[in-house]
Amino acid sequence: MAQVAQAIKPRAGGQIWKRVKLLTESPVGMVGVFLVLFWVVVAILAPWLAPYDPNANDPSTVPDHIDPMMDPTPNSVYLLGTDNQGRDLLSRIIWGSRTVLIVAPTATLCAYAVGCLLGLLAGYYRGWVDTLISRFSDIVLSFPAIVLYILIITRLGPSALNVIVAVIFIASPQIVRIVRGITMEQRELDYVTAAKMRGESSLYIMMVEILPNTRGPLIVDACLRMGYTTIQIGVLGFLGLGLPPPAPDWGGMIKDAYAMMSTAPHMSLFPAIAISSLVVGFSLLADGLREISLRD
């Protein structure tokens, strides 16, 4: 009997570990974890992994190698070939992962902070607060996202910071929608009434009683949104609104190369593979997380 009691008793910190274990049972989720972790490791180890300076023209010192200006296709010196300026594609992709993996999570996180706050306020207070926040969100949502991105970035100028500002502005209304809905449901539940009856402040109720219970749907949404933001950053780079040159930027690399799609497809193909593998990684991870959340 004692062993049984031991088995039932939850261990401290066992919850998170249990969830990780559950995730390992979802093949889809594991592929996602693998893809995302792959790029995270690449970004962290970029200085050691990248064979050459990403911004140098024909950086190799190997004697007698093929001149990138004559033949930019992959060869034994430049494993993924070189771009139209003779820069090593592999090194640029490796360094470019840093840009994406810093900008996308930061932007998503900031969008969440803003979206959660506004969503909580709208759902909790309702009335005119809700009308104000919801109408504003509706207006933002009614514009095509890409038009808004172009508008904001051309106004503020291309930089990592402004990309983040644009993502916050465009993504947070959708987060507001989700959080507002959950908050409206939660505020009617008995434990919120109990909190009011013991005299908790509205801020406490929103932050401590309601916010933690929105995490289930939000974690899944955050993973999807991370992928979506990655695409957006790629698109902005492609439009020339990403990071200012010569910083390596996957979207920008495609833009520089797409004119030569027929003669040198590798120049746009490899950055495109990089973007899509990361995006697919994020969505598979989201699928895996959703699968776990349905299990218990």
Contacts with another protein by CB under 8 A lie at: 4, 8, 10, 12, 25, 189-191, 193-194, 196-200, 209, 212-213, 215
Distance, in Å, from the CA atom of 153 to the CA atom of 155, rounded to the nearest integer, reads 5
Rank residues 209 and 256 by Cβ distance to another protein and give the closer one. Answer: 209
Q: Which is nearer to another protein, 155 or 198 (CB)?
A: 198
Taking each helix axis from N to C terminus, what angle separates 14-24 and 27-44, rounded to the nearest 10 degrees? 110
Class of residue 48 by CB neighbours under 10 A (exposed 0-12, middle 13-18, buried 19+): exposed
At closest approach, how far in Å is the CB of 33 from another protein? 20
Closer of 7 and 147 to another protein (Cβ): 7
Q: Which is nearer to another protein, 125 or 169 (CB)?
A: 125
Cβ nearer to another protein, comparing 55 with 293: 293
The length of the chain is 296
Name 254's Cβ contacts closer than 8 Å, sequence gap at least 6: 234, 237, 238, 268, 271, 272
For residue 25, the Cα-to-chain-centroid distance in whole angstroms is 24
Residue 86 CB coordination number (10 Å): 17
